[in-house]
Each structure stands twice: as C-alpha cells, then as structure tokens.
Amino acid sequence: MRLLHTSDWHLGRTFHGMSLRAEQSAFLDHLVAVARAEDVDTVLVAGDVYDRALPSLEAVALFDEVLHRLAEIDVEAVLISGNHDSAPRLGVGAGLIGRAGIHLRTDPAAASAPVLLADEFGDIAFYGLPYLEPTLVREVFGVERAGHAAVLGAAMDRVRADLARRPGTRSVVLAHAFVVGGTGCDSERDITVGGIQDVPASVFDGVDYVALGHLHGAQTITERIRYSGSPLAFSFSEAAHRKSMWLIDLDGEGRPDARRLDCPVPRPLARLRGRLEELLDDPRLERHADAWVQVTLTDPVRPRDPMSRLRRRFPRTLQLTFDPETDGRSGDSVTYSSRLRGRDDTQIGLDFIQHVRGRPAEADEHELLRDAFAAVRMTADGGRAR
C-alpha cells in the first residue's frame, strides 16, 4: 500500500501577521496532485489540522474542500487531532464521513480501534492516537502519574493488544507527540508537563510504521518512525527547513520504503544580521528582495527609522530586533541597584534612553524629561511643587 504522510497543516495560521490562506490553499492543491500522480492509496495527517481550537470559516472551508477532492479521486485519508485542534469539534460527523473514506480519529478512548484497509497482501490496521493531554486522559488509560510517556505507553499497550488478535495484519500508527531524538523549532507550542514532554521511540515497538506530527521539521527517528514536518514555515526559525511529505510504500511484510517529496515554497525566508548601512548596500543581498525577512541590527547606536529604510530594499521585512555590538566594557556585571544608587529620577530616565537608543538624549529631550518628572511629582503631592 502506498501512503502519503503529512501533518501540522495549521490551517488558519498567519506568519507575523501576514495571511497564509493562499499559500495553504496552494499546498492542498499540491497534496491532491501528488496523491493523484503517485497513485497514493491513503493520506495520513498526523494532527494539527487547524491552528486554533475555534478555526476561522476560511480554514474550515479549506479543510472541507480538500476532503471532498480526496474522496473524488478515491484516496482514503486517516487523520488525528493535534494539540492545536479541538478534538471534539474536529471529530464531529466522523462516523458519517468515514463512509466516504475519510477517517477522523479524535477520541483517546478509541485509540485501539483501528481503521482496517486492505491491499493485495491483506489487511493493514491504522491506529489513530490523537494528541493525549496527560492530565485529561490519565483516567482513560488508567495511569497513576500524568506524563506523556505514561499515557502514550498505555495507549500503545492497547494497540499492541488489539494487534495481537489480528495475526498477519500489518500496522500503522499516527501519533502527535515529542519523541526523543526529534528537533523542535520556535513555532511549535510547548507541550511540557511537569518538565517532561519527550517520549522514547521504544513506546512504538511492535508496529510497522509510525507517522508522527507536532515537530515542524521533517526528520527520521528510525526507519519506521518519522516526522513529516509542517508543509509551510511558520517562524523564521524554520528558514533552513526543507518542507516535504513522506511517500511510504508498505510491502507485504510490513517493511516501509520512504521517499521524501518536496512541498512548494511560496516565498523564501531570510535572516539577515549586521549594521544597517551594510545591509542596505551589500549587493549580495539582492536575492532576498522578494523574501520574508527577519533583520537583527548590530549598530552600536540605534539608527533612525530603520524599519522604513529596510523595507525600501526588502519590502517584506517582518521582524526587526537589535543586538548592538559592544567593546566588552558594558558593565553588565554591576548590579542594577548599584547603578541606580545616588541617581535621581531624571538621571535614571536619561540612562534608560541611552541604553535603548544607543546614544544620549539631546538637550531638548533632557529638558522635556525633567519637566515630565516634575509634573508627576506635583500631581503626587497634590499640586505642591517640591
């Protein structure tokens, strides 16, 4: 059987305030085209279909459309809910749409009830393990201590018990979790519970293929356990990611043969660092003119109006931070209280301006700040000047 493993669509998400609707629609077009061109039998979506528990109408419409298109070309789909999804909402109508070959698995208690599909070698059992929030599902799985490894381990024990009753049946598990050996990035929501979020890969022993979701970078934990990653970048920390899906051929013995298929890149990301004038003048940076850009300025003194100047060269600059170069004599080892000792409010304010801007306040700003503090003191004293 040929499987297409994807996850973390995050329909409805924006990128630093920029709508991704067109980009997400283009990805779903690509997914359907790949499914048709590669004769895919089953699409696997390992959680985080939506970006929010209450998705926008546009996001729901995108999801509805892609389900209809997969059904029209007779491609089955198995989907689970992730930590961004509302499992009950995503699972509405699951029994009915299952008749069309779209199998939603959002109920933790039903994790060991497989979707059974068949090829020329026999049955394949697909077990959908939705995101398991330990404190919410601990009683469902009868574990004493709430933790990701405990609840996922208990769910997998049930999966293996069901599989033992199906001799000769191959198996695929979909799960949404942080598995030891995986590498995260900035755009993933923290799922730490009690300081522990990782689960060992050994939790999934005994099954033929594990389609993972949650981490946004495609990666291989073992030959049988893989993350597809998100199809689009959702933070600048993903600038170096190669966005893709896994095409999996599962043979008659349950051995997975994986091939990585690239997703379209609607717009590249660029992370630039340096002094403002250098970034504006460097001809080598012309290739980033159409990219979404993150800039870290290292000017010792904060330049005037840097964002508008950057956007004249890089129109899609979305994020600007400052990390000024120093000579190593910043005095950071001196305590905050020591720096303030013996200084009045105006002096402290002037120090703050210099720290933030990288240069001292000018004479008129000095006078304005002094008058402002005087007005505040008069208000606090009931109008009596000190």
List Cα–Cα distances, 62 to 6, 11, 12, 68, 235, in angstroms: 16, 8, 9, 10, 22
Q: What pLDDT is recorded for position 338?
A: 61
Using one digit for the tens of pLDDT, what is the confidence trace for 239-268? 999 999 999 999 999 999 999 999 999 999
Q: Looking at residues 51-62, what average pLDDT do you find?
A: 97
Q: What pLDDT is recorded for position 346?
A: 77
pLDDT classification of 121: cutoffs 50, 70, 90: very high
Q: What pLDDT is recorded for position 268?
A: 95
Task: Name the amino acid, one letter, at 209.
Answer: Y
Secondary structure (3-state) at 342: coil
Q: What pLDDT is recorded for position 355?
A: 66
More confidently predicted of 323 and 336: 323
Element (H, E) at 199: strand 198-199
More confidently predicted of 177 and 332: 177
Average pLDDT along the chain: 90
Lowest pLDDT segment from 136-145, 212-221, 232-241: 136-145
Residues 6+ apart with CB under 8 A from 74: 101
pLDDT classification of 364: cutoffs 50, 70, 90: confident
- Report DSSP state, residue 249: E
Q: How many CB atoms lie within 10 A of CB 369?
A: 18
Lowest pLDDT segment from 18-32, 186-200, 201-215: 186-200
Q: Looking at residues 288-299, what average pLDDT do you find?
A: 96
List Cα–Cα distances, 212 to 48, 190, 204, 311, 320, in angstroms: 11, 16, 11, 39, 34
Lowest pLDDT segment from 136-140, 197-201, 265-269, 351-355: 351-355
Using one digit for the tens of pLDDT, what is the confidence trace for 297-318? 999 999 999 999 999 999 999 9
Q: Looking at residues 356-384, what average pLDDT do you find?
A: 72
Q: What is the set of domains in the chain, with CATH numbers?
A: 2-262 (3.60.21.10), 268-325 (no CATH), 329-386 (no CATH)
Using one digit for the tens of pLDDT, what is the confidence trace for 76-114? 999 999 999 999 999 999 999 999 999 999 999 999 999
Closest CA to 115 of 97, 137, 89, 90: 97
Q: What pLDDT is recorded for position 386?
A: 44
Secondary structure (3-state) at 225: strand
